[in-house]
Structure 1
């Protein structure tokens, strides 16, 4: 036995051994020449993953919420109008953050399992001058996937800055920041980027940086202020030592390792791998007579799945049975329905073997609790679906 359980929650995820080995190296000075090279290279590799050759990357010790906070703190001034397009828990969090900096925030929200229509977004943008709009690419609470491109097009049409919460999407869902004209894309290290928790990662367009530099009032958050961090990022990219706050040295060494793995796989292949595995996993879920939270598969993320418990099955008992099979899944998060569903992460270095282990554990747990399904059907559906797709990357299969 391997002596530990398979972690299949929507972050932290299972990490590549090379990433964990890199993180376990002896801690060096943050101004050592070797670390300066690692930090500078990480910033450059971020542009490749975000597909933003013109963007300004930031790597700061913190969480995804800090990355959200940085975007709001640096781009919002008191009285600015902000529009939040919400598809779950984290849309409401963005509203709370924007409100804290004095924004007049409007939130647009669709019924559970759906997305806000483009017509509704455009009607709201027409109603008054907005400075920023935020959208969640994949909401970790619901597994809802939004297509950012048409919303970014609307933002450009109405001269509004677009901020994409990509915490559960960057390096797992299709993203072309520069081509789509998205002004800020943020994420955290512990999701599809594939590094243990502790880094807030953000890419800002030159347009966003221009708005920041022309703000009339000081940034209301000392730690998040780009005036403090921008010289640091520029110095490391120029391979010069600099200091504002001590960086998370070991995490950044691990970040460079993971970004190299991601770029070696190639963004197109990586996104296709996530899509193939997610489609096959949903086929396995359907074979278990389970229903996903998104109303259609078109709205279902490729980095995680949110699945309703079957009628008559106690959710806590189901997850306990799954844990007995050495697989850890996550419960629900969205207020009002959190006890009605559970979540499975499938991002980063996830493989078909990982997902087959999840389906096996889930099927065994359901059978033990009396759910009427035929044994083996979910694995058969999963494998049949994979056989009908493009071959997966052999390194991660």
Structure 2
């Protein structure tokens, strides 16, 4: 519990460690903090922002979506104008939208919210950012940070990790309507988490013991060993610049339109004309490198490469060198295969 607090930099936030994917964090926010009919401002910089809005709607909330053009971020002025138009119970920010690789400036957005609409809860979806992007829950006055085990935290998937500020807990405890979820109810989980905090036993549902042990091992490395958190962020930025420079050398464009708003733990790269993701992803896999196709309407036009956690921090593994060599070779193979098909066509 204390190491979870340390990795998101909070002193008094309450962690919730629950079996489930990162999507369960959306359910926790929508079911416990948003009451039916309440407005939520959702910043959408890709597929996952849209999913958060859908989840809020399921529980009776009224999401207002500010949608950025594909590959772009949402400006502070647009957010401030929206906040002045009506009262919002919460604003949701996808720190890194995994579908596009767009990085949102959580610090600046949170400051804008506090200045413009101080009662609005600031909720951060940090599934693709915690552990690889700078995030300071207390200093930036964030109310909820929700994440998952499988990305920057370096643990197999299946553990939803959420940290709620004291203010968020107060809002939950003051709600006027019943929570409309059973498994994701903070009313069920809060006594368990407080017991864990006090190093005593409590039970609501079976915890994923194997994942908790793996999470403990990973957090022990992240929070207690070298490099420090700040140094980890610096290394992620350094490696990110290297991967993005590689894309440029290969004549490829990034999905994020502005590198200042491009994630440091992953890179989304458009493929050359004539190639689609299925031409490249299997070829990379044959070389021992797992990457992903895009998501959404343009999913076949680009690929997504993760570079976070151990693959970045432990340079002796040589993972980034392998990615660079494999990507160049896979692109050449795919182009040659397409060329051969054209030449053979009568």
TM-score, normalised by the number of residues in structure 2: 0.93
Matched, 1:193 2:158: no
Match of 2:86 in 1: 128
C-alpha distance after superposition, 1:22-58 (max 9, x if no partner): xxxxxxxxxxxxxxxxxxxxx1101100001121111
Report if the CA contact (8 A) 2:276-2:300 is conserved.
no
Match of 1:151 in 2: 109
For residue 75 of structure 2, the aligned residue among 101, 114, 117 is 117
Unaligned runs of 5+ in 1: 1-42, 372-397
For residue 347 of structure 1, the aligned residue among 283, 303, 308 is 308
Q: Secondary structure at the match of 1:311?
A: coil
Match of 1:40 in 2: none
Matches within 5 A, 1:13-162: 43-157=1-115, 158=117, 159-162=119-122
Match of 1:251 in 2: 211
Q: Could you say which structure has the greater relative contact order, defined with CA pairs below 8 angstroms and 6 or more residues apart? A: 1
Q: Secondary structure at the match of 1:216?
A: coil
Matched, 1:338 2:299: yes
Match of 2:248 in 1: 286
Report the count of equivalent residues: 328
Deviation at 1:317, TM superposition (A): 1.8
Match of 1:301 in 2: 263
What is the alpha-carbon distance in structure 1 between the residues aligned to residue 282 and residue 7 of structure 2?
37
Q: Secondary structure at the match of 1:247?
A: coil
C-alpha distance after superposition, 1:291-314 (max 9, x if no partner): 110002111100111000111224
C-alpha distance after superposition, 1:327-371 (max 9, x if no partner): 2210011x2211110100111111351111111111112222348
Match of 1:3 in 2: none
Q: Secondary structure at the match of 1:307?
A: strand
Match of 1:316 in 2: 278
What is the alpha-carbon distance in structure 1 between the residues aligned to residue 276 and residue 114 of structure 2?
47
What is the alpha-carbon distance in structure 2 between the residues aligned to residue 206 and residue 317 of structure 1?
49
Deviation at 1:266, TM superposition (A): 1.6
What is the alpha-carbon distance in structure 1 between the residues aligned to residue 92 and residue 216 of structure 2?
28
What is the alpha-carbon distance in structure 2 between the residues aligned to residue 228 and residue 369 of structure 1?
52
Deviation at 1:155, TM superposition (A): 2.1
Runs of 4+ deviating beyond 4 Å: none
C-alpha distance after superposition, 1:143-201 (max 9, x if no partner): 00011012111222302001100000001100001000010000000110111011100
Deviation at 1:258, TM superposition (A): 0.4
TM-score, normalised by the number of residues in structure 1: 0.81
What is the alpha-carbon distance in structure 1 between the residues aligned to residue 276 and residue 300 of structure 2?
9
User: Cα RMSD (Å) of the superposition?
Assistant: 1.1
For residue 325 of structure 2, the aligned residue among 352, 360, 384 is 360
Deviation at 1:284, TM superposition (A): 1.3
